[in-house]
Amino acid sequence: MAGDTIPRRGFLVGVGLAGTAAAAGVAASSPASAEVPAPNQSSATEGAAAPGNREPEPLLALNEAEHAFIVAAVDTIIPADDLSPSGSECGVATFIDRQLASAWGGGAKMYRSGPFLRGKPEQGYQLALTPREFFLAGIAATNDWTRKTYGKDFDRLPASERIAALTALEEGKADLGHVSARQFFNALLTITMEGFFADPIYGGNRNMASWKMLGFPGLPATYANVIDQYRDKPYTAAPQSIADFS
């Protein structure tokens, strides 16, 4: 891989904080570093993965380079700011790794008989690849393209170039060869949002950071006694996860 010398996981663990802050376009001393929670964020960042002191999660589907790509991507899609920690700080990269290792990642509930023909977009996904295979192909193709375009793998790019690279993918302007840039970007965006907003039991949305950001109370979701009382009034309840009831 492009003759990298710094092992990626060490790189992430050691200087991830600064890297993330840079990706977010905020100074490293901003509230994003979880030292001074913003007023509306009283607990969103409390205990949120301060990258320096959380052990890397074991990887199930991705190799280290692929994981580094995903961390960089989810931190660009969900930058840290006063509203929430970054995507990877919220565990979204862990979520994606686990999803790709799950039955879904292996193509469960997906019709996989050929012939595999190129269809019209409205006919939906028509490739033989499982989600896991598709993501790995997309990551490799994007890194090939960023090396050609910027001289580096995606995760080694500064924040501004990561944003530019993802924008080129989103707009279909990056030529990823056999992989459709738009299709890969959309898959990446979708799974990132799933990880950020799903129940934390899947490894993302740590400390329910996204739910706190929205004001979504999570579970147990029993509102018969309050729907009337809170009509058109803010309902503030500390969110709870499935894990809090298990």
Partner 1 sequence: MTTKLPEVDVVVVGVGWTGSILARELTKAGLRVVGLERGPRRTPGEDFTVPSIRDDLKYAVRQELFQDTQMETMSLRHARSETALPVRRLGAFLPGTGLGGAGAHWNGVTWRLLPTDHKLRTHLSERYGAQAIPDDMTITDYPVSYDELEPYYDRFEKLCGVSGKAGNLRGKIIDGGNVFEGPRQAEYPNPPLEQSVAGATFETAVKSLGYHPFPAPSSNASRVYTNPEGLTMGACIYCGHCERFGCESNAKASPGVSILPALLSDDKFELRCNAYVKDLVHDKTARKVKSVRYVDTRSGEDYEQPASLVILGAYVFTNNLLLLYSGIGEPYDPVTGKGSVGKNYCYQVGAAGVTVFFEDKEVNPFMASGAHGIMIDDFNGDNFDHGGLGFFGGAWIQAGPTNGRPILSRPVPAGTPRWGRDWKRATAKWYNHAFNIGGSCCNYAHRENYLDLDPTYRDALGRPLIRMTYNFKENDYRVAEYVTAVLGRIGRAMNPTLINTPAYRRGNFSAIPYQSTHNTGGTILGTDPKESVVNRYLQAWDADNLFIVGASVFPQNQSYNPTGTVGALAYWAADAITKQYMKSPGPLVHA
Out of 1, 108, 158, 172, point to the residue binding partner 1 (CB under 8 A): 108
User: Whose Cβ is closer to partner 1: residue 1's or residue 125's?
Assistant: 125
Tokens of 161: 């170039």
Out of 3, 39, 58, 124, point to the residue binding partner 1 (CB under 8 A): 124
Out of 18, 47, 52, 230, point to the residue binding partner 1 (CB under 8 A): 230
- The residues in 73-102 that bind partner 1, with binding defined as CB under 8 A, are 76-79, 81, 83-84
- Biggest CA–CA distance in the chain, Å, is 62
Sequence letter at residue 135: F
Query: 129 burial class (0-12, 13-18, 19+ CB within 10 angstroms)?
Result: middle
58 binds partner 1 (CB under 8 A): no
User: Whose Cβ is closer to partner 1: residue 46's or residue 171's?
Assistant: 171
Q: Is 240 helix (H, G, I), strand (E, B) or coil?
A: strand
Out of 52, 126, 158, 177, point to the residue binding partner 1 (CB under 8 A): 126
Taking phi over 0 as left and psi of -120 to 50 as alpha, with beta for the rest, 239 belongs to beta
238 binds partner 1 (CB under 8 A): no
Residue 170 CB, shortest distance to partner 1, in Å, is: 7
End-to-end CA distance of the chain: 43
* CB environment 76-89: b (16+ within 10 A), e (fewer): bbbbbbbbbbbbbb
d(CA 145, CA 43): 40
User: Whose Cβ is closer to partner 1: residue 11's or residue 104's?
Assistant: 104
- In the complex, which residues of this chain contact partner 1 (CB under 8 A)? 24-25, 76-79, 81, 83-84, 104, 107-113, 115, 117, 119-126, 163, 166, 170, 189, 192-194, 197-199, 201-202, 210-211, 213-217, 219-224, 226-228, 230-235, 242, 244-246
